[in-house]
């Protein structure tokens, strides 16, 4: 008799547990809480155009010599001449940055194989200015003293870049909220609390004024009557809101 009573009690417990589980499942689906079906995810975008406020002129000094020492000395002579000319027009040491300096053998490939003769010294520099009218003077100072111009860009200073970045992300966030409100309203709902937000992208594209490898005009001609185009700034954010 005791064993039969124990079996009955165990059966009653199992039945009760099944009933309770069924009630909980029913309540869960009848009264959903903060689940993914009550969250809306939207992508906010913005794009606008701004004026650049700095120019970058990339200069290269390249010299040949029968020895590494000779090519280095020739390069140094041109570098000093260019530097002196730049300082005459108001360019300071803070405006000049050496990007790369290298000395390597001058080798060519021929039908008979690779042939090396002498050495090449290469000095690549970047000149930064916020005065667009000085770009042509920088080019003259470099070219007239034996240097080459690789390319010229119009860009944003760090201060302006940070300002437009904040503005672009703010506008992208506003765009996301407007989209969420429109979608929610279309379903007879309202946007609730912010669940999450992430920055998907922020970027701006510098405006190239001159590219030596692509240009068919002389660099001095390219920088005559400079009128830089506006820079494209864009941002994207992903935002999730509760809706109810």
What is the pTM for the complete model shown? 0.72
The predicted-structure confidence for 37-89, as pLDDT tens digits, reads as follows 689 999 999 999 999 999 999 999 999 999 999 999 999 999 999 999 999 99
Nearest to 182 by CA among 42, 27, 10, 76: 42
Q: What residue ranges define each of the domains in the chain, with the CATH number in brackets?
A: 32-53+156-244 (3.30.110.170), 55-155 (3.30.70.2970)
Closest CA to 145 of 86, 98, 97, 102: 86
CA-CA distance, 76 to 120, in Å (whole number)?
Answer: 12
How does pLDDT run across 175-194, given as a tens digit for each residue? Answer: 999 999 999 999 999 999 99
129/138 Cα distance (integer angstroms): 9
Radius of gyration of the chain (CA): 34
């Amino acid at each position: 008799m005791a064993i039969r009573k124990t079996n009955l009690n165990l059966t009653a417990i199992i039945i009760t547990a099944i009933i309770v589980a069924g009630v909980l499942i029913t309540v869960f689906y009848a009264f959903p809480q903060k689940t993914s079906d009550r969250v809306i995810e939207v992508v906010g975008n913005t794009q606008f155009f701004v004026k650049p406020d700095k120019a970058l002129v990339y200069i290269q000094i390249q010299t040949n010599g029968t020895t590494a020492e000779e090519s280095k000395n020739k390069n140094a002579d041109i570098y000093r001449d260019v530097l002196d000319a730049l300082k005459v027009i108001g360019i300071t040491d803070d405006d000049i940055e050496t990007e790369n300096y290298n000395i390597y053998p001058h080798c060519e490939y021929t039908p008979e194989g690779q042939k090396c003769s002498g050495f090449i010294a290469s000095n690549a520099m970047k000149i930064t200015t916020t005065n667009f009218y000085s770009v042509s003077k920088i080019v003259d100072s470099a070219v007239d003293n034996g240097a080459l111009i690789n390319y010229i860009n119009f860009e944003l200073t760090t201060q302006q870049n940070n300002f437009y970045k904040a503005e672009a992300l703010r506008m992208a966030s506003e765009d996301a909220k407007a989209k969420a409100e429109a979608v929610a309203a279309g379903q007879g709902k309202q946007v609730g609390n912010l669940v999450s937000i992430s920055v998907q992208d922020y970027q701006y594209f510098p405006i190239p004024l001159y590219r030596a490898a692509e240009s068919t005009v002389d660099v001095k001609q390219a920088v005559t009557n400079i009128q830089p185009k506006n820079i494209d700034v864009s941002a994207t954010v992903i935002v999730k809101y509760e809706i109810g």
